[in-house]
Amino acid sequence: MDLVDGSSHFQDKLTDQVPSLLTVILDTNPLAWALLEKVLPLSTAVANLLVFINAHLASSYTNRALLSSTTEASLSSSSPSSPAISTATSTHVAGALTLALSYINRLSIQYTDSVMGPDQTMLQASAPNNNGGGGGGTNTDSRQLQSRILLVSVSPSTDLANQYIPIMNAVFACQRLNIPIDILQIRLPGKAEAGGKPTVFLQQASDATSGIFITFMLPSASSFNGKSNSSSSESIKTAASQSLLTYLLTAFVTSPSTRELLTPPTAINVDFRAACFCHRRVIDLGYVCSICLSIFCEVPPEGVCLTCGNKLQIPEGYGKRPVVVAKKKKKKRQTATSAATPTALDTPHNSR
């Protein structure tokens, strides 16, 4: 009977229970959420995010979560009631990613100290990882904290172009630490220029870190034409809230270790365009410095790199418009007239 007794499993300790740290960054661009007020209010989005975070915490007692925003109030020690913050119309995605990385690093060190001890933590931090350089990865070892970042973005590409360099630095840090960056892009209603196109840099961040990129399409009013205006508005808000929660609980709730057993949704058409360092424009063609790899949309003044001061080797006359030379007209040859050309009728015959 001892062989079939199942009470012994209560004495076994769970050694494979590795905590998972979820960092949720909510883009709180006031202009974007003002456009979404009639379909998906900010309060509804925050409520759905809290349900998603509670589901993550309920999956394991060792899981941790952090909710941050892209406003200046959450990224600095200034007062939230400051007038400069209340009238801000931009978003700080780069600062939120930096704050998330610092929080992940602090909790990773605390967890590794509790499992391995401070001496082993220092040795492991100084050892090179698989990607080269110092510092160990976050998710490569089962004794380390599994971390991931979820960014709920509502800002168009034009608002993030001036943050291209710090965003890419944070992306490369996450790539080195094996921290996936998941992106939930909420499209704004209206034209494509107002934010309908997916954000270029967030696509690159998700692709570089093996994360998940999903574009959330808001329900349109055309599907509720049979109802009155008040009931149609409430139906649209309810449908948008349910759709957002469905995306969160189905695509983003899995941990990095669980995703190895699943087939997560991935973006196929990734836009790999970059932003120039001089005007922060998203460009297709540009000039690249061979020393620091800075990108420029046009030739810098005197051909000198604005970042490192290197002289760009640009061929003389490069970039000038070609001059089209008009072709010379060929003179037509003068043809003989019919009077000068003898014919068979004009040929004389000898008559006998």
Q: What is the pLDDT of residue 287?
A: 85
Same domain, 293 and 216: no
Pairing of strands 295-296, 287-288: antiparallel
Q: What is the pLDDT of residue 235?
A: 86
The reply to whether 90 and 160 lie within a common domain is yes
> Per-residue confidence at 94, pLDDT binned at 50, 70, 90?
confident
- The partner residues of 23 in beta bridges, in order of sequence, read 66, 149
Furthest C-alpha separation in the chain: 147
Residue-wise pLDDT tens digits, 123-157: 555 555 554 433 334 454 556 788 999 999 988 76
pLDDT tens-digit profile of 238-248?
999 999 999 99
What is the average per-residue pLDDT within 195-219? Answer: 82
Asked if 166 and 293 sit in the same domain, the reply is no
Bridge-based pairing of strands 146-153 and 287-288 is: unpaired
Residue 300: domain span: 273-320
- Structural domain includes residue 335: no
Phi-psi region of 242 (alpha: psi -120 to 50; beta: other; left: phi over 0): alpha
Lowest mean pLDDT among 37-46, 141-150, 296-305: 141-150
Q: Which of 25-29, 224-228, 257-261, 303-307 has the lowest mean pLDDT?
A: 224-228
How many separate domains does the chain show?
A: 2
Using a pLDDT cut of 70, give the percent of the chain over it.
67
CATH of the domain at 296: 2.20.28
What is the model's pLDDT at position 148? Answer: 94
Q: What is the pLDDT of residue 75?
A: 46
The CATH code of the domain that includes 75 is: 3.40.50.410
For 76-90, what is each residue's pLDDT tens digit?
433 334 344 344 445
Indicate whether 61 belongs to any domain.
Answer: yes
Residue 298 host element (H or E): none
Instruction: Let me know whether 236 and 115 are in one domain.
Output: yes
Q: For residue range 246-299, list pLDDT tens digits in order.
A: 999 999 998 888 888 888 777 677 878 888 888 878 888 888 888 888 888 888
